[in-house]
Chain A
Amino acid sequence: MSRPVAIDVSHLGKTYDKVRAVEDLSFQVYTGEIFGLLGPNGAGKSTTLRILITLLNPTSGSARIFGLDSVKDADRVRQTIGYVPQERAIDRFLTGREHLELLADLYHLSADDAAKRIPQLLKLVELEQQADRPAKTYSGGMKRKLDIACGLLPDPKILFLDEPTLGLDVQSRLRIWDHVRAMRERGITVVMTTNYLDEADRLCDRIAIIDGGRIKALGAPNELKVGLGGDLVSLTVREHDRVEKLAAAIRDLPAIRAVATTTNGLDIRVDSPEKALPAILDAANRLTCQLEFIDYHRPRLDDVFIAHTGRSIKDDQPRAEDS
């Protein structure tokens, strides 16, 4: 059974002044999921997002939002989506409430609807107390909450978030994550860009890893990790001369995927650590091979990112801007 598709991106390309920002991008976002575009700065995430929210026209391919073309039906697309830009897209001189009032008029809400919805949103993002203060007095986290309230004002079917937690402290990040999850509970499809691995891992149902304008991997964070080929067990062996013999013995054990020798031991990829670990220890005992150190970890999204792009996302420090 296939899930209902909210966004269908097909062979999307965007070239600025001969520079290819995005190339042959194809993916689908299902309704009701949190979909993440993960990649370093300049990877093409923001370009993709801007095409989806109709602010940029693609140079090739197409993007359909609930069947509506992002270029031809731009006006109708704009009525079904909400957008939360990167931080600071706020008018310092307006109060929080005035932001929402302005947007209510731009979405053509009636005065009654606006009067009903604005207090609800302020309550939802916990800004009731500060609603009538100018936004220049807001903290980073409060601005972000106002951003989100603005994005939710049109009661969108899809909400787009551009780097929702960039530059926020830990507590504010966790609150924003809660808000994003709450949106999913309400049936809103969420599409977000991020260059934080833990955010993609813990918040998103599915992610697309983008690097150099192309999709390098696509799937649920767990699938991607499992796809790497099992969990990793690293052994440090005291007697180096026995490593080869031990490797040979372990290779034949059940639930073992691959064994590689390292400078002072073995790296073993295992399917199920519950079965593999006792068997590995048993083999070591049988060969009277003393183990100095055992490390076991599940593949992290870092490992996935490195495996698909050949580099760590941290090579590129997060900055406030992204093109």
Chain B
Amino acid sequence: MKEYSQEIRALTMRWVRRLSREKFSMLFTLVQPMLFWLIFFGNLFQRAADLQVTQSSSYISFLTAGVVVMTVLNNGLAGGVDLLFDKENGFLERLMSTPIHRTSVILSRFIFVTTITSLQVLVILAVAWLFGVHPVTGLAGVATILLIGMMFGVGLTAISMAMAFSVKSHGDFFSVLGFLSLPMIFLSSALVPLAAMPGWMGFLAQFNPMTWAIDAVRPLILQGWAEALPHVGMVIGVMVLFDALCLYGGARAFRRAIG
């Protein structure tokens, strides 16, 4: 157990070090979702969006839940990228030739991605606060939002790592990533409520786990516990299932790749 924690601490620190050496990349990772989506998109559509439809006092306050979950989505789906590079340049092989527990590398990645994503979610909520979005459920609500984000993030990171271990080249990886990310966002309740979507899009969006997450986060910000709790209960159930599926698939891909 002592050895296990020594390995995981060292491997997690490596990810932190890498991020801190890539200052520009860090800055953009942190700033991009709030700049592009929350500040630009939120303010841009302030008057174009019908507040009767979004059922909120401003479009930004409606959008905040969407941006939070989008951030979880993008970070999760990109969570395997560093392992992909490690696989391609042989560093992963070096790590795996040491007497570490076979799961340590992956676990360190989960810890790292989850921590970074949570920090980012807090920053987004703070920026939204400046634009007058004050979560009505308070700090307990923010904690619940983080929990939902983590649960969704674990499954997504597992998908991303499974892809990293399975793809032949990193070109494939980024093609799939690019193809997945935007449709997931458009086919969810991130930008528009389900009821206001064209029928077929709304239909598809119901099956998107992202929609479930957003539908739980949004009432935590806008409405209050009474409206949020049923959704929160539901999303936790859905995420347990989603994570179990993703982790199972990820473990299989990992075992195939590492043997």
Given known contacts A56-B259, A91-B18, is B91 in contact with A106 (CB within 8 Å)? Answer: no
How far is A94 from B18 in the complex, measured between Cα atoms in Å?
7
Whether the Cβ atoms of B93 and A102 lie closer than 8 Å is no
Whether the Cβ atoms of A85 and B99 lie closer than 8 Å is no
Chain B residue, CB-CB nearest to A109: B6
Interface stretch of the complex, out of A76-84, A173-181, A261-269, A301-309? A76-84
Whether the Cβ atoms of A91 and B90 lie closer than 8 Å is no
**Which of B3, B14, B18, B95 makes the CB contact (< 8 A) with A108?**
B3
Whether the Cβ atoms of A106 and B10 lie closer than 8 Å is yes
> Does A289 touch B at the CB level, under 8 Å?
no
Q: Is the interface of B mostly helix, strand, loop or mixed?
A: helix
Contacts of B175 in A (CB 8 A): none
Chain A interface size band reads 20 to 34
Whether the Cβ atoms of A108 and B99 lie closer than 8 Å is yes
Chain B residue, CB-CB nearest to A134: B21
Whether the Cβ atoms of A55 and B259 lie closer than 8 Å is yes
> Does A126 touch B at the CB level, under 8 Å?
no
Residue tally, chain B, CB below 8 Å to A: 25
8 Å CB interface, B91-107 against A: 91, 93-100
Whether the Cβ atoms of B17 and A93 lie closer than 8 Å is yes
> Does A53 touch B at the CB level, under 8 Å?
yes
Contacts of A76 in B (CB 8 A): 99
How far is A93 from B25 in the complex, measured between Cα atoms in Å?
13
Whether the Cβ atoms of B97 and A78 lie closer than 8 Å is yes
Whether the Cβ atoms of A107 and B99 lie closer than 8 Å is yes
Contacts of B93 in A (CB 8 A): 50, 55, 83, 85, 89
User: What 6 pairs between A and B have smallest CB-CB spacing?
Assistant: A105-B10, A89-B90, A78-B99, A93-B21, A106-B98, A83-B97
Closest Cβ of chain A to B154, distance in Å, is 24
Closest Cβ of chain B to A294, distance in Å, is 50
26 residue pairs of the A-B complex, CB under 8 angstroms, read A53-B97, A54-B97, A56-B259, A75-B99, A78-B99, A81-B97, A85-B90, A85-B94, A86-B90, A89-B89, A90-B89, A91-B14, A93-B18, A93-B21, A93-B22, A94-B17, A94-B18, A98-B14, A102-B10, A102-B13, A106-B95, A106-B100, A108-B3, A108-B99, A134-B21, A154-B98
Q: Which of B6, B11, B94 has the most CB of A within 10 A?
A: B94
Given known contacts A85-B93, A102-B14, is B259 in contact with A57 (CB within 8 Å)? Answer: yes
Whether the Cβ atoms of A107 and B98 lie closer than 8 Å is yes
How many residue pairs bridge A and B at CB < 8 Å? Answer: 72
Contacts of B134 in A (CB 8 A): none
> Does A150 touch B at the CB level, under 8 Å?
yes
Contacts of A86 in B (CB 8 A): 90
Chain A residue, CB-CB nearest to B99: A78
Closest Cβ of chain B to A188, distance in Å, is 16
How far is A91 from B83 in the complex, measured between Cα atoms in Å?
12
Contacts of B170 in A (CB 8 A): none
**Which of A50, A54, A89, A94 makes the CB contact (< 8 A) with B94?**
A89
New A-B contacts (7) at CB < 8 Å, excluding given A78-B98, A108-B7: A53-B97, A54-B97, A57-B259, A85-B90, A85-B94, A91-B91, A105-B6
8 Å CB interface, A67-117 against B: 75-76, 78-79, 81, 83, 85-86, 88-91, 93-94, 98, 101-103, 105-108
Whether the Cβ atoms of A106 and B7 lie closer than 8 Å is yes
Contacts of A102 in B (CB 8 A): 10-11, 13-14
